[in-house]
Chain A
Amino acid sequence: FFKVLLILPAVSVGNVGQLAIDLIISTLNMSKIGYFYTDCLVPMVGNNPYATAEANSTELSINTEVYSLPSRKLVALQLRSIFIKYKSKPFCEKLLSWVRSSNFARVILLSSSHSYHRNDLQLRSTPFRYLLTPSMQKSVQNKIKSLNWEEMEKSPCIPEINDSEFCIRIPGGGITKALYDESCSKEIQMAVLLKFVSEGDNIPDALGLVEYLNEWLQIIKPCSDDPTASTLRWKIPSSWRLLFGSGLPPALF
């Protein structure tokens, strides 16, 4: 994976990171190249979530899979279930160890944070934020500056205490902070892109997050400035049906 970019989600509020990765894999038609077999996540299986026809719908998918698009030097890791208690830290260690041994050039982590934790300033600004590890800052600082993005602000470590120290907090972000901190200390080039969300129908949030990522990476060509056109450019996976349950019994009415 020399000189390859790895994109992965954090299992976070609204599952926005994971939905965004689904959109990327589906739109770019990335092919499955392997598994990140681990006992840290709840096991789950199902048939191919990105199936487009009867022929490709019968391939079994598990909870952690790796997809690639060699032409764009892009690899995506998808996580489909939640962490087993006390296993999130071991998972972070295993993941970063894999990132380093595979020689990925850069890592982008897609995540989200509870929107109710925003302060007044954050409420009035864009819901998107970014974070860069020091080694990443050196290489992409100029590009990020040109995009006019907002960096994630520091907030009081202990909100109840008035003169508490300030630090980066990502409530609802799952392992985002842990991965970011570890990457800083291990000098891994990582960028975190997140959106402030509330749980509910998070498809629009996922679309927002991939568009945000697209401003930087240009995964798909940006066309007009029309915001509604964005939904049409990303391919919704076939597995996104029935997100809120089965059909209703007619007798209800």
Chain B
Amino acid sequence: MAATFFGEVVKAPCRAGTEDEDEEEEGRRETPEDREVRRQLARKREVRLLRRQTKTSLEVSLLEKYPCSKFIIAIGNNAVAFLSSFVTNSGVWEEVGCAKLWNEWCRTTDTIHLSPTEAFCVFYHLKSNPSVFGSCPRKNMQITILTSRHVTEYKTSESTGSLPSPFLKALKTQNFRDPVCCSLLEQPNIVHDLPAAVLSYCQVWKIPAVLYLCYTDVMKLDLITVEAFKPILSSRTFKGLVKNIPQSTEMLKKLMTTNEIQSNIYT
């Protein structure tokens, strides 16, 4: 509870997230029907791995079928655009599967027939170079994660308006020995959600992993934001993966224009 300046008492959300206490107490009075509903909901929310073309489930885990030494994850539209234009555009990449998931934030209720525009994730594998998503043992795996965040989430003693955005920051696990392509993310800044989940896993299980985070003030697909990821191209992971930079830049421009037309509300 908190009092506003106007003298009203309102229920303010607790920073420590403890409003769910009442829910926990109700949980003790849970009926078998409640439990069943919760179980079904949990099943609906499971992440399912599918073979892309046939949409049948993968029987074994993706990494067992395609063990790899370099695993690159792009999260968010700018990171994905960077990866599509510069990396998967060079060389021949084959789709090996996709992950589908549903939670209460999705607008559809049907989990089986998610359309391509719904949130999903596609896995690619480089046909020419088996060490990238290829046949090397998992022990030597290195993970790279790319994502972007709004610049206002960056904490600094100056005002965020004066920062030269977009800019790149990195976080790496203890076992990552290669040099990083930009400065490390200083405290008190933190990262959460999927990139944090992946990095936490890698830190605990001693897998070398690095997260490159682009702070930008434009959250939709933007040329300048995507190009801010370019310093990564000189890192060990990406050297050899990227062949033709001018061609990639062209590809990127094409991606932008396709998107721009779609989002123009004045036509």
Could you tell me which A residues sit within 8 Å of B by CB distance?
Answer: 11-15, 35, 37, 42-49, 51, 57-60, 62-63, 81-83, 85-86, 88-89, 114, 116, 171-174, 178, 199, 238-243, 245-251
Other-chain contact of B160, A89, A178, A246 (Cβ < 8 Å): A246
Stretch from B110-118, B171-179, B229-237 forming part of the interface with A: B171-179
| CB proximity of A114 to chain B, nearest CB, Å | 8
A116 to B191, CA, bound (A): 33
B188–A13 touching, CB < 8 Å: no
Q: Can you name 27 A-B residue pairings with CB atoms under 8 Å?
A: A11-B18, A43-B192, A44-B196, A45-B199, A45-B211, A47-B185, A48-B187, A57-B186, A59-B174, A60-B174, A60-B203, A63-B200, A82-B17, A83-B20, A86-B27, A88-B24, A89-B27, A174-B17, A174-B21, A199-B2, A242-B155, A242-B188, A245-B155, A246-B152, A246-B159, A246-B160, A247-B158
B53 located at the interface, meaning its Cβ lies under 8 Å from any Cβ of chain A in the complex: no
Contact (A241, B204) CB under 8 Å given A174-B16, A249-B161 = no
CB closest chain-A residue, reference B191: A45
B24–A178 touching, CB < 8 Å: yes
* Chain B residues within an 8 Å CB radius of A173: 18
CB closest chain-B residue, reference A178: B24
B17–A242 touching, CB < 8 Å: no
A246–B157 touching, CB < 8 Å: yes
B190 located at the interface, meaning its Cβ lies under 8 Å from any Cβ of chain A in the complex: yes
Contact (A14, B15) CB under 8 Å given A49-B187, A246-B155, A249-B162 = yes
B262 located at the interface, meaning its Cβ lies under 8 Å from any Cβ of chain A in the complex: no
- In the complex, the 10 A-B pairs of residues with the closest C-beta atoms, listed nearest first: A82-B17, A46-B190, A249-B159, A43-B197, A43-B196, A239-B187, A62-B200, A44-B192, A242-B155, A45-B196
Given contacts A116-B1, A199-B14, 4 further A-B contacts (CB under 8 A): A37-B200, A47-B171, A246-B152, A247-B157
* Chain A residues within an 8 Å CB radius of B161: 249, 251
* Chain B residues within an 8 Å CB radius of A114: 1
* Chain B residues within an 8 Å CB radius of A82: 16-17
A97 to B199, CA, bound (A): 26
A242–B157 touching, CB < 8 Å: yes
CB closest chain-A residue, reference B156: A246
A46–B185 touching, CB < 8 Å: yes
A-B contact count (CB 8 A): 137
Chain B interface size range? 35 or more
* Chain A residues within an 8 Å CB radius of B18: 11-13, 172-174
CB closest chain-A residue, reference B194: A43
CB closest chain-A residue, reference B41: A86
* Chain B residues within an 8 Å CB radius of A239: 187-188
B238 located at the interface, meaning its Cβ lies under 8 Å from any Cβ of chain A in the complex: no
A51 to B184, CA, bound (A): 14
* B170-224 CB contacts (< 8 Å) to partner A: 171-174, 184-197, 199-200, 203-204, 211
B16–A14 touching, CB < 8 Å: yes
* Chain A residues within an 8 Å CB radius of B190: 44-46
* B138-174 CB contacts (< 8 Å) to partner A: 152, 154-162, 171-174
Contact (A81, B187) CB under 8 Å given A62-B203, A247-B156 = no
Which of B24, B156, B157, B158 has most chain A Cβ within 10 Å?
B24
* Chain A residues within an 8 Å CB radius of B193: 43
A81–B20 touching, CB < 8 Å: no
Which of B16, B21, B171, B184 has most chain A Cβ within 10 Å?
B16
B204–A58 touching, CB < 8 Å: no
A11 to B204, CA, bound (A): 22
| CB proximity of A66 to chain B, nearest CB, Å | 12
B192–A42 touching, CB < 8 Å: yes
* Chain A residues within an 8 Å CB radius of B171: 45-47, 60
Other-chain contact of B189, A13, A46, A48 (Cβ < 8 Å): A46
A82 to B21, CA, bound (A): 13
A47 to B173, CA, bound (A): 10
A12–B16 touching, CB < 8 Å: yes
Other-chain contact of A45, B12, B15, B155, B203 (Cβ < 8 Å): B203
Which of B2, B15, B158 has most chain A Cβ within 10 Å?
B15
| CB proximity of A224 to chain B, nearest CB, Å | 32
* Chain A residues within an 8 Å CB radius of B192: 42-45, 81
A60 to B15, CA, bound (A): 24
* Chain B residues within an 8 Å CB radius of A48: 187
Contact with A along B1-33 (1 / 0, CB 8 A): 110000000001011111011011001000000
* Chain B residues within an 8 Å CB radius of A63: 196, 200
CB closest chain-A residue, reference B159: A249
Contact (A62, B16) CB under 8 Å given A46-B171, A46-B188, A46-B190 = no
CB closest chain-B residue, reference A83: B17
| CB proximity of A197 to chain B, nearest CB, Å | 10
